Structure 1
Amino acid sequence: MQKLHDYDQVPGCTLYAALNLISGKWKGMILYRLLGGTRRFNALQRELKGCSQRMLIKQLRELEADGLVERTVYAVMPPRVEYSITAEGRSLEPVLLGLRDWGHGWLSRRKLTAREDHLAA
C-alpha cells in the first residue's frame, strides 16, 4: 500500500506539494550538499553541524521515499552507505541555488555574515 502525503490530499496545489517535499530543517541543506556529489552518511553528518544522527536518518529516508535522493548500500565489511541526488532531485538545483543567493543578499542587506562552511557545496 502506497503511503499518502499531505499534498496528495490537495489536488491542484502545486506550491504546497513542492514546499512539502523540501520542508524540514535539513532537507534543503542535504539536497544542496548532494549537488556537489555523492556523500557517505558520516560525511553528510560532519557537514551538517547541529543535525543529530536520528534527524539526518529521518530526513534522508523522506527524501529517498520522495525520489529526490538515492541510497546505495555496498556489501562490504564494514557496511558502506552512500547517498546521491537523483535526476528529480537535481531538477531542484536552480531553486536551491536561488535560495542560497537570496539568503546571501538578505544577510548582506542586514550587515550580517554567513558561515562560509555552509555556502560552498
Structure 2
Amino acid sequence: MVNLERCLKVGDRLDGHMVQGHVDSTAKCIKVTEENGSWRYLFEGNSEVKQLVVYKGSICINGVSLTVTKTMNQEIEVAIIPYTYEHTNFQQIQVGDLVNIEFDILGKYFLKNAKNLTGLQ
C-alpha cells in the first residue's frame, strides 16, 4: 500500500507541511503504543535524524506528512490520530518494519547552507 495525495496546483493556497515526495532515508519502527484511540509510533533512523528532525517540526513517513511529537538522538516519535490510522498504511506498520522518511525541506536547505557557510561537510 502506498499513501498518495493530490499535488498542489499553481495558485493554490499553501497549508500544512511542504512535502516533495522524495525518500531521503529509512527508519525502523521500534515501538507502537495505542493511547485512547490514537497511536504513537517510535522510529529509529540514521545520523541525519539528529541533524534534520526537530520537536514539533514536520516529517513525512511513508508519504504521510506528520508532526514530530518527540526526538531523542536518532529516534523520532509521531502521533497518529484515528482518521490517519484508518486512511493510511500506518495500521500495517509493525515493530521491526522499515519506513521511508522525507525530512522537512526547509531543514534540508538550512543545513546545506549552514554547512556551506561554515565549511563543514
Q: Which has the larger radius of gyration?
A: 1
Tell which has more relative contact order, 1 or 2 (C-alpha 8 A, sep 6+): 2
Task: Select the structure that is richer in strand.
Answer: 2
Pair in the same fold by TM > 0.5 = no
Structure 1 or 2: larger helix share? 1
TM-score, length of structure 2 as denominator length: 0.31
Query: TM-score under structure 1 normalisation?
Result: 0.31
